Amino acid sequence: MNDAERNYAIHDKELLGVICCFKEWYAMLRGLVGFTLVTNHKNLQYFAKKQLLNERQIRWSEFLQTLPPLKVIHRPGRLNQAADALSRKEQDEPKDPSEGRELQLWKHEQDPPLQAMLTQRQNSLFENRELQDLWDEGADGDEETEAIWSAVRSQDTTKLPKSVRGQLGDFTEKDGRLKPMTAE
């Protein structure tokens, strides 16, 4: 990995590894009818769903479309110890702490109007106020929504409706919104 790639978010690093392998094996993969990727990184399943991609992910998506149909299956590391051990190797860590790992973040606190806009966006799902109002109206009093919030707040997945059970185990509530749990 180069310096820029080491600064990618973890899900992008995982997908970068997959893309590099697929490019290496491109000639062999092109001859298949379809193939399956078994991974210990559940976030790779996220890329198989419709969503807003950044430019790098769009390039990768275009490359993946040249391959036969791909199915991504998540197998937790504890069930595949050999692959889990390989994914935890430290070969990509810099040998010297000053080796391209420093980030300079722009301090938005210096711009009060921008800070106000960012705070407003963090507290709503949509930039469009009408859409946010419709969302809030639909969510108020909805039994399934209330059951999801109750389960997330208590971290008790048995309270989740069957339609979403197993999908929200890694979420928590922060500032009145569902947020993915992080290792921070």
* Domain end point (choices 63, 87, 111): 87
Cα 166 → chain centroid: 16
Token pair listed for 118: 């960012």
pTM of this prediction exceeds 0.85: no
Residue 23 lies in a domain: yes
Same domain, 140 and 72: no
Same domain, 60 and 125: no
Structural domain boundaries, residue 155: 121-180
Nearest to 143 by CA among 164, 168, 171, 125: 164
Q: How many domains does the chain have?
A: 2
Continuous segment of H or E residues that includes residue 117: helix 112-122
108-162 tens-digit pLDDT? 444 555 455 545 545 556 667 787 778 778 878 888 778 777 777 777 777 777 7
Residue 37's beta-bridge partner residues? 72
22-56 tens-digit pLDDT? 999 998 888 888 888 888 788 777 777 777 888 88
Same domain, 59 and 9: yes
Same domain, 67 and 126: no
Q: Is the model's pLDDT at 19 over the cut of 80?
A: yes
Residue 164 lies in a domain: yes
Same domain, 16 and 73: yes
Residue 15 lies in a domain: yes
How many CB atoms neighbour CB 86 within 10 A? 11
Q: What is the pLDDT of residue 90?
A: 60
Q: Is the model's pLDDT at 98 over the cut of 70?
A: no
Residue 166 lies in a domain: yes
